[in-house]
Amino acid sequence: MKFAVIVFPGSNCDVDMFHAIKDELGEEVDYVWHDTESLDSYDAILLPGGFSYGDYLRCGALARFSKVMGAVVKAAAVGKPVLGVCNGFQILLEAGLLPGALRRNKDLKFICGQVELVVESNNTIFTSGYEVGEVITIPVAHGEGNYYCDEKTLQELVDNEQIAFRYNEDFNGSLSNIAGITNKQGNVLGMMPHPERAVDTLLGSSDGLQLFQSILKTWRVSSHVVTS
């Protein structure tokens, strides 16, 4: 399986994402610069965290207009897995690939540390390796991770099982403790916590590795790849 890690000016979690795929998952991965116009040769697209374009104007608002985003939208439309983490989540929201918005944390402070997440759905490309209700430990590092949407959208997220992860407690003000959501098709996931920073127990948790393993397992099944 071949992964693309999209690199915008200001990305700073791209190396972590690259390491998670190459060294921990053991799959092929490339850094892909923001002015790339085609992602046809990749099986999965990863948008890492950081401060794309310095977070000027609004987080993700400028990155949304990068040339590569047309290719990201195309990849999502044909069913390829698209994962946006932290700033990558913000970019997916700005691009309209996911509903809602992210606001400043409720205490207006940057938050960095380990948090507990509850797996709300394992019926997605990204979460099939978890159990519903399972509590996992994943680090966060964000200043604008307070998820918000209107009541109608929230009900749709619930009805369509689009809420992938919730925080185990309210620490940043996110509506309904939402930490990660998918699109209706289930192939686009945006989340504020960093699974790529939880792929080895030396990092404090390996709970994030299952997310990437879930992507790989689903791809192998859908591609009819037989492994020993």
Joined tokens for residue 121:
């759905």
Query: Is residue 196 annotated as a catalytic residue, yes or no?
Result: yes
Please, are residues 85 and 45 in contact by the beta-carbon 8 Å criterion? no
Residues 144, 59: Cα–Cα separation, whole Å: 8
Residues 3, 57: Cα–Cα separation, whole Å: 30
Joined tokens for residue 35:
């002015």
pLDDT of 175 reads: 97
Please, are residues 93 and 47 in contact by the beta-carbon 8 Å criterion? no
**Digit-coded pLDDT (tens) for 5-57:** 999 999 999 999 999 999 999 999 999 999 999 999 999 999 999 999 998 88
3-state DSSP call for residue 113?
Answer: strand
Residues 56, 10: Cα–Cα separation, whole Å: 11
Query: Is residue 13 annotated as a catalytic residue, yes or no?
Result: no
3-state DSSP call for residue 171?
Answer: coil
Phi and psi for 176 in degrees, rounded to 5?
55, 25
Give 221's Cβ-side CA count (13 Å radius).
8
Domain residues of the chain, as ranges?
A: 2-222
- Chain centroid offset of residue 71 CA: 17
pLDDT of 228 reads: 41
With respect to CATH, is domain 2-222 assigned 3.40.50.880? yes
Active-site residue among 13, 59, 86, 149?
86
Query: Is residue 116 annotated as a catalytic residue, yes or no?
Result: no
pLDDT of 76 reads: 98
**Digit-coded pLDDT (tens) for 76-99:** 999 999 999 999 999 999 999 999
Residue owning tokens 């490309």: 125
pLDDT of 224 reads: 61
Length of the chain: 228
Where does the pLDDT of residue 226 fall: very low under 50, low under 70, confident under 90, or very high at 90 and above?
very low
> What number is the average pLDDT over the span 185-196?
98
DSSP lists the bridge partners of residue 86 as none
- Whole-model pTM: value is 0.95
Angle at 64 between CA 73 and CA 178, to 5 degrees: 80
